Structure 1
Amino acid sequence: METITSQVLISRLADWGVDTVFGLPGDGVNGLMEGLRRNADRVRFVLVHHEEAAAFMATGYAKATGRIGVCLATSGPGGIHLANGLYDAALDHAPVLALTGMQETSVLGTAYQQEVDLTRLFADVAVYNQLVVNPQQLPGLVDLAIRHAYARRGVAHLCVPNDIQVAAAGDDPYQHVAPALPPATAAVYLGSPVRPRDDDLDHAVRLLGDPGRTAILAGVGARGAGHLIEELAERLGAPVVKTLSGKMVLPDDSPYTTGGIGLLGTAPSEDLMSDIDTLVMLGTNFPYTKYLPEPGSVRVLQVDVEQTRIGTRLPTEVPLAGDVAATLEALLPRLERRTDRSHLAKYQAATREWRDRMTALQDPDRDPIAPQYLASCIDDLAAGDAVLCCDSGTVATWAARHFTIHGDREFYLSGNLASMAPGLPYAIGIQLAFPQRQFIALQGDGGFAMLMAEFSTACRYRLPITVIINNNNSLGQILWEQMVLGYPEHGVRFGEPQPDYAAWAQACGGLGARVTRPGDLRAALAQALAHPGPALLDVAVDPNEPPMPGKVGYEQAKNFAASFLHGQPHRAAIATTLFKDKLAQLRGGVSD
């Protein structure tokens, strides 16, 4: 058979180490599908039910492996569906390549069926974005797309018209003098760890050598440097705060961490930010500045591999452009150990008290089931190498506070985009890269319903993924956000009839069960986690359990009360739940 352009494209992906493409066929990518068929021994194609899920799978794969994730969609609506998952990759700096189709070049601009200019559509999301118009551009454009995705930690997009996809690989209809030929081989382009200059490190040593109260804020950009961060915390006597995306950077039981920051964070972390004079920011561009110190009130040292992010959130006295691990390896030998441990000890005690408060809410006797209890059961029964892929919404609060990172556990969610629905697609994408690990997709009922067809995908590929639905039959996070604004809830409860998600799981060929009583939860969860294939556990949790912030501010409390006065329809049930929470904490010996 004559070699076609798509065959060369997919082969070039394989040369770059790509082993999986997530996608959905269509008439706009039939040539690309033939390229995949001819390279099936090198690149696996994973058939999904929705292109958004394909983009989420590629993003999850990239986040977990550090290697480029690849998704594929047809022209027009298929490519449009990719957008949400691609923005998730872009905002969380994951290297992803999107391949899309396009109508034949001869009809472009004629309002042909499904003619959508996908390069214009993706102009905002992609760091590299190219329409292929000549077979000679490939595989050179593949090299450039992948290099851009790796170097700029973002999304690359190649749009290939139908006629180019099936054209002979050697065709050059315009007889160009210098076609865009690639190098002979595709070297892996991950780059070397970047280390700051010695002069900048000396400046950092001078700042950190001054006595004072220091805190460390670690984000997902510091992943893999946890032991070095703990060593830094020990040298400086500094507590470590973690962003939500950076939850797995440091074990939750580390003696140095106060836990998370922000709406889903802890009270000790919030107190700490107003009780320091120096902040060390490692691999984070945490956007919620109201949870950070007042600009100018603290001295800031920030380490980030991307120079443009340094100083975005706070005025930065010492900017260190570099990989976090490489930077700390160069910095630590230059630092003296501080002898005053009182600042660290203060927040270690506060963190122990906070953990006791959270444990008190994990009440196994509460009916309806407390979502904190569900999260604690997952934490107790999950394996030491469990990968938890979490949805956005209230479920992220319960995971942040009650799922413990220790051992080899990992945690993924849509960080800066905070999109609903990525939990299950993430789990599928990452499981295919690490098939020996345990995978749990923790989702709200709203998020699961959006891409629930992908449970069928998990069943088709026989992936041992456990989906756990924190089912409050509502859009829980939006409900509480409305109340914090001082408004009664509106349009956020799904009501009846409720979907039978367990029956859906069984219909797909997986294990499905629903739990409504707290006494049945632990055994049902153990059974789902032990199931050798896809399993789904639909857990009816208390819909009136509020995801309270670490500390309730005056305005939040005032607006919450105003919501009651303005006719909050479930105020009695919410008040009862809040009373039960306080009672549980008092029984546990915890008081404000």
Structure 2
Amino acid sequence: MSTVAAMVIESLARLGVKHVWGVVGDALNPLTDAIRTSTEVQWIGVRHEETAAFAAGAASQLSGVLGVCMGTVGPGSIHLLNGLYDAKKSHTPVLAICGQVPSEQIGTDFFQEVNNDTLFADVAVFAQTVTSLGQMPYLLEQAVNAALTQRGVAVLSIPGDIGGAELPKDTTATFVDVQQPTPAHPEALHTAAATINAASKVTMLVGMGAREAREQVLDTARKLAAPMVLTLKAKEGLEDGNEFQVGQSGLIGNPAAGHALESCEVLLMVGTDFPYRDYYPQGKTVIQVDRVGEHIGRRTAVGQGIVADAQLALTGLLPLLDTKPDQSHVRASRDKYKGWSKGQSSLADPAHDSRVIGKVRSLVDNPFHAIRPEAVAAAVDELASDSAIFTADTGMSTVWLSRYVTMRARRRLLGSFNLGSMANAMPQSLGASALDPTRQVIAFCGDGGLSMLLGDLLTAVAYELPVKLVVFNNSRLGMVKLEQEQAGLPEFGTVLKNPDLAEVGRACGLHGIRVTDPGKLHSAVAEALAHDGPVLLDVVTNPEEVSIPPQATIGQAWGFATARLKEVLEAKDKDETTK
């Protein structure tokens, strides 16, 4: 005989699952005991279940294998929610196994009882509770198959008494093969080609759905002489060696991307569901290629949609396209991008504030000569491995990574780019490192994000996960500060009273490094990346650093000026009252 729990773990192992993330608890005991005796699946016990869900989602995004996390009865399962929402919005398959009260107590408002099927209804493509032995392995199969085929979250709740119940020894679960890519309809390709061929200026907006179609994407841009705006998630695989790309749009974007979008006649969207409506150009003919039909036209008005895999669609489209001889559109966009990049590079020089222009600027935005965050990101980019995996907290950490870290060679990139959660970078780095501890994993952490889940620094130490946590320590919720100031509001509620985070790291068992001197930044980054264990690099950065949107409006500029004036006056009032 076998148990339900043993069958679950053995079935997941055959699927390729190597790690299960979670916090142990009574209802999970049969399952964690099955993992204890497994030779193929490792349990990684975290300090907060949110970390478990983020880590499982990160592992799934990187490996393509189902991510698995667990939470026990009630509060333990509730803590999974934020990380599971990130998996949902990242379209990656994750199975959350939740403990439940004993089956005879379900529905009696028992201690810690929560209706998991209702709780997870919005986040999950499948959410069911096992209420009888006869439902297994069928509910496990349905959960996993739903997660894999719909690329989403499945939640299976198992009461402890059922998890420990016996099944016939040969009982096993069988899972479906993942669906094959969708080809494009020939008529749709011919119609799109006719529209593109009739236009003199075409711009491409390319997302992560096209990352596996690099060759076809570049061939299309070359044939159309089209500048290419990349979404943040498309940097991986499409940025390096791309003579057509002009960076990102949106809040993290640049003027060249805005120019490329506004000056085209036809916008060709490939594999992207870029969400920010305000950054799409108006009055253009839009052709959108996406494997998910409901993505077509939900962000901007689309003249023609092609529901297909990006690689198959572009392979079919390329022979139908005319070669455009006029290079002026792509040349103008690229020249603007190169000029902007040159200006950004000067800010990344640690010696920037010691030069004439830097001295003048620093009087306004860096009077105490703190390390500029641009310099941190640039130093990491220079020294990191060509196979490094990067994770980034939502907010200013993502801005600096997007502008200064190049996804060259085999580099990978993860973040909460769709959900926009705080505190994702460190947990995602743990999930990445567990897949391959020999591979360099670097997390760009905000001080606010890191301190939210600070306890899981201990997880990196306990499981010898050699993550490099680079903390942009500006004692601020930096993106919120910027949003307030652009709206004309003085900064409020964003100041963080941080401890010495390097000391905290050392107390937890990491190698802690703190750097406050711009002249010592490069050597500190080199030391952190060379260390063979987990590292917390605490970089004290300039809290007044400004990241201007690519097309700042007059209202935003006026709001920023108004906010700064209010801040100065409030500071003066405080000084007067303390005299």
Structure-1-length-normalised TM-score: 0.91
- Are residues 1:204 and 2:192 paired? yes
Change over 3 Å in CA distance of 1:45–1:570 after alignment to 2: farther
- Are residues 1:340 and 2:342 paired? no
The residue that corresponds to 2:106 in the other structure is 108
Residue pair 2:88, 2:123 contacting (<8 A) in 1 also: yes
Residue pair 1:15, 1:185 contacting (<8 A) in 2 also: no
Residue pair 1:5, 1:169 contacting (<8 A) in 2 also: yes
CA deviation after TM superposition for structure 1 residue 187, in Å? 5.1
Residue pair 1:253, 1:404 contacting (<8 A) in 2 also: no
The residue that corresponds to 2:429 in the other structure is 427
1:245 counterpart SS class: helix
Q: What letter matches 1:478 in structure 2?
A: V
2:25 counterpart SS class: coil
User: Which digits, 9 at most, give the CA deviation of each residue in 1:161-213, with x for residues without a partner?
Assistant: 12111111259xxxxxxxxx99x773562221211121222222222221321
Q: Once superposed, what is the RMSD of the aligned Cα atoms?
A: 1.8
CA deviation after TM superposition for structure 1 residue 571, in Å? 8.3
Residue pair 2:240, 2:409 contacting (<8 A) in 1 also: no
User: Which digits, 9 at most, give the CA deviation of each residue in 1:102-144, with x for residues without a partner?
Assistant: 0011111221110111111100000111111122222222222
1:29 counterpart SS class: helix
Q: Distance in 1 between matches of 2:7 and 2:138?
A: 10
The 5 Å alignment of 1:274-313 reads 274-294=262-282, 297-313=283-299
1:559 counterpart SS class: helix
Q: Distance in 1 between matches of 2:232 and 2:49?
A: 27
User: Which digits, 9 at most, give the CA deviation of each residue in 1:274-302, with x for residues without a partner?
Assistant: 111111111111111100012xx111111
Q: Distance in 2 between matches of 1:384 and 1:542?
A: 28
2:459 counterpart SS class: helix
Q: Distance in 2 between matches of 1:321 and 1:410?
A: 27
Residue pair 2:237, 2:408 contacting (<8 A) in 1 also: no
Residue pair 1:71, 1:97 contacting (<8 A) in 2 also: yes
Q: Distance in 1 between matches of 2:415 and 2:391?
A: 6
Q: Relative to structure 2, which stretch is displaced further, 109-118 or 136-145?
A: 136-145
The residue that corresponds to 2:543 in the other structure is 543
Instruction: Find the partner of 1:56 among 54, 58, 69.
Output: 54
The 5 Å alignment of 1:180-329 reads 186=174, 189-294=177-282, 297-329=283-315
Q: Distance in 2 between matches of 1:568 and 1:386?
A: 42
Q: What letter matches 1:13 in structure 2?
A: L
Runs (4+) of structure 1 exceeding 6 A deviation are: 569-572
Change over 3 Å in CA distance of 1:395–1:48 after alignment to 2: same
The residue that corresponds to 1:577 in the other structure is none
Residue pair 1:12, 1:142 contacting (<8 A) in 2 also: no
Residue pair 1:16, 1:186 contacting (<8 A) in 2 also: no
The residue that corresponds to 1:523 in the other structure is 523
Q: What letter matches 2:116 in structure 1?
A: L
2:246 counterpart SS class: strand
Q: Distance in 2 between matches of 1:570 and 1:246?
A: 43
CA deviation after TM superposition for structure 1 residue 516, in Å? 0.5
Q: What letter matches 2:335 in structure 1?
A: A
The 5 Å alignment of 1:21-40 reads 21-38=20-37, 40=38
Residue pair 1:279, 1:299 contacting (<8 A) in 2 also: yes
Q: Relative to structure 2, which stretch is displaced further, 556-565 or 152-161?
A: 556-565
Q: Relative to structure 2, which stretch is displaced further, 503-512 or 156-165?
A: 503-512
Aligned length: 556
The residue that corresponds to 1:404 in the other structure is 406
CA deviation after TM superposition for structure 1 residue 5, in Å? 0.9
The 5 Å alignment of 1:149-168 reads 149-168=147-166
The residue that corresponds to 1:360 in the other structure is 346
Change over 3 Å in CA distance of 1:570–1:218 after alignment to 2: farther
User: Which digits, 9 at most, give the CA deviation of each residue in 1:39-81, with x for residues without a partner?
Assistant: x212111111110000000111111112211111101111110
CA deviation after TM superposition for structure 1 residue 455, in Å? 1.8
Residue pair 1:369, 1:517 contacting (<8 A) in 2 also: yes
Residue pair 2:141, 2:175 contacting (<8 A) in 1 also: no
Q: Distance in 2 between matches of 1:35 and 1:130?
A: 22
The residue that corresponds to 2:19 in the other structure is 20
Q: Distance in 1 between matches of 2:8 and 2:457?
A: 30
User: Which digits, 9 at most, give the CA deviation of each residue in 1:232-274, with x for residues without a partner?
Assistant: 1101111111112222141255210000110001111112221
> Structure 1: which 5+ residue stretches go unaligned?
172-180, 573-592
Residue pair 2:21, 2:53 contacting (<8 A) in 1 also: yes
Residue pair 1:136, 1:170 contacting (<8 A) in 2 also: no
Q: What letter matches 1:235 in structure 2?
A: K
Change over 3 Å in CA distance of 1:493–1:252 after alignment to 2: farther
Q: Distance in 2 between matches of 1:136 and 1:326?
A: 43
1:192 counterpart SS class: coil
1:119 counterpart SS class: helix
Residue pair 1:251, 1:407 contacting (<8 A) in 2 also: no
- Are residues 1:389 and 2:388 paired? no
Q: Distance in 2 between matches of 1:428 and 1:241?
A: 31
The residue that corresponds to 2:575 in the other structure is none
Change over 3 Å in CA distance of 1:442–1:130 after alignment to 2: same
Residue pair 1:93, 1:154 contacting (<8 A) in 2 also: yes
The residue that corresponds to 1:136 in the other structure is 134
Q: Distance in 1 between matches of 2:480 and 2:242?
A: 33
Change over 3 Å in CA distance of 1:571–1:291 after alignment to 2: farther
Q: Distance in 1 between matches of 2:569 and 2:309?
A: 51
Residue pair 2:48, 2:453 contacting (<8 A) in 1 also: yes
Q: Which of the pair is proportionally richer in helix?
A: 2
Q: Distance in 1 between matches of 2:567 and 2:239?
A: 43
Residue pair 2:23, 2:47 contacting (<8 A) in 1 also: yes
User: Which digits, 9 at most, give the CA deviation of each residue in 1:346-389, with x for residues without a partner?
Assistant: 11111110111111111313421011011110111111111111
Q: Distance in 2 between matches of 1:502 and 1:564?
A: 31
CA deviation after TM superposition for structure 1 residue 504, in Å? 2.1
2:454 counterpart SS class: coil
Change over 3 Å in CA distance of 1:499–1:144 after alignment to 2: same
Residue pair 1:8, 1:138 contacting (<8 A) in 2 also: no
- Are residues 1:502 and 2:502 paired? yes
Q: What letter matches 1:549 in structure 2?
A: P
Q: What letter matches 2:559 in structure 1?
A: N
Q: Distance in 1 between matches of 2:177 and 2:270?
A: 24
> Structure 2: which 5+ residue stretches go unaligned?
354-368, 573-579
The residue that corresponds to 2:357 in the other structure is none
Tell me the percent identity.
37
Instruction: Find the partner of 2:465 among 463, 466, 470.
Output: 463
Q: Distance in 2 between matches of 1:371 and 1:510?
A: 23
1:336 counterpart SS class: coil
The residue that corresponds to 1:486 in the other structure is 488
Residue pair 1:24, 1:47 contacting (<8 A) in 2 also: yes
CA deviation after TM superposition for structure 1 residue 535, in Å? 0.9
